[in-house]
Structure 1
Amino acid sequence: MPAPRAVMGRTRAGLLRGAADAFAATGVRATTMQAVAAAAGVAKGTLYNHFRTKDDVVRALLSAELRRLTEAATGRPPVEALVLLADEVADHPVLRTMAVTDPADLVALLGAGPERWAEVGAALAEVLQTDADGAGTTGRWLLGLVLQPADPPARRRQARRLAAVLPPPG
């Protein structure tokens, strides 16, 4: 029998996958907690056992996506990591939907507080083997791809150019 913590973790992961599917389909604002629960294949009560509000779901999904992207990019050469991150951010289904359905909410999400950007900057610095300034510049470029994704060949060229000029860590 799996440990209760493992079951809770799998349930939470399933809820976040359902949330991503629901948000990608209709945007964050138009998606209800009932729609998230339905997309995850659980009762609404199960969703509320893990998340009190839709904002809590969004924050948890953002954190999970940051972890996923960090893990996917870790261990790759900086240029490969940056190309992967650029493609993931530019083509992210939830971000693409939000750009159309919830642009003001997307801008607010991208302008998250300093503590979130410190976390993102630290992850970028580690993954890309660069200093804080290089991570900050890269983060701003990746944010730009959320709003204007560019075509894949262009963003990959840009990623390679940016990776070539990133300074080494400190």
Structure 2
Amino acid sequence: MNRTRAGLLGGAARAFAAHGPRRSTMQSVAVASGVAKATLYNHSRTKDDVARALLDAELRRLTDLTAGRPVAEALPALADELATHPVLRRMAETEPDQLVALLSPGATGWAELTRRLAAALGISADGAELVARWLLGVVLQPGLTTLRRRHAALVAQLLEPAG
């Protein structure tokens, strides 16, 4: 990813975390990115395009975070990232309906999310579905770090092959 695009996505994350995606404007994203609005429009035509690009970049970042790690290490790391993600926290507070629409099973990106989880964690499609549903719960109700980590250990145990 080039520096301009990375800067735009970082600015989008800051604007969305500050105002929520619904209240953010292309102008607020441009200001948070430190670029002219025309520069932003050269890369994305609409705010929805910006949101999709940010979501894709975040999924890639989280996939990279888990790749090659044992499931028992990857799950708490994922849960902690999602529980403290500034955009997700803002959406949970101010735009829960949009968050649920984005992340609910059956949503457009759900199959892609579970596919990426299965590949990154080296687990079955059913295992990825279980993990995705648990992580959705973490996004909506993060709870205490210690509780998230205990639950991550339980989910990891469920994913272990029967011996």
Give the TM-score normalised by structure 1: 0.90
**Counterpart in the other structure of 2:109:** 116
SS at match of 1:138: helix
CA distance, structure 1, for counterparts of residue 107 and residue 19 of structure 2: 29
**Structure 2 spans left out of the alignment, 5+ residues:** none
**Counterpart in the other structure of 2:100:** 107
**Counterpart in the other structure of 2:152:** 159
For 1:155, the aligned partner's letter is R
**Structure 1 spans left out of the alignment, 5+ residues:** 1-5
Of stretches 41-50 and 114-123 in structure 1, the one that deviates more from structure 2 is 114-123
Query: CA 1:121–1:100 in structure 2 vs 1: closer, same or farther (change >3 Å)?
Result: same
Tell me how large the CA RMSD over aligned residues is: 1.4
CA distance, structure 2, for counterparts of residue 10 and residue 154 of structure 1: 38
Number of equivalent positions: 161
Identity between Structure 1 and Structure 2 (%) = 62
CA distance, structure 2, for counterparts of residue 12 and residue 112 of structure 1: 29
Q: 1:24-69: per-residue Cα shift (whole Å, max 9, x none)?
A: 0111111111000000000000000011111111111000000000
Question: Where has structure 1 moved over 6 Å in runs of 4 or more?
Answer: none
Contact 1:121 1:135 in 2 (8 A): yes
**Counterpart in the other structure of 1:69:** 62
**Counterpart in the other structure of 1:125:** 118
**Counterpart in the other structure of 2:17:** 24
SS at match of 2:21: coil
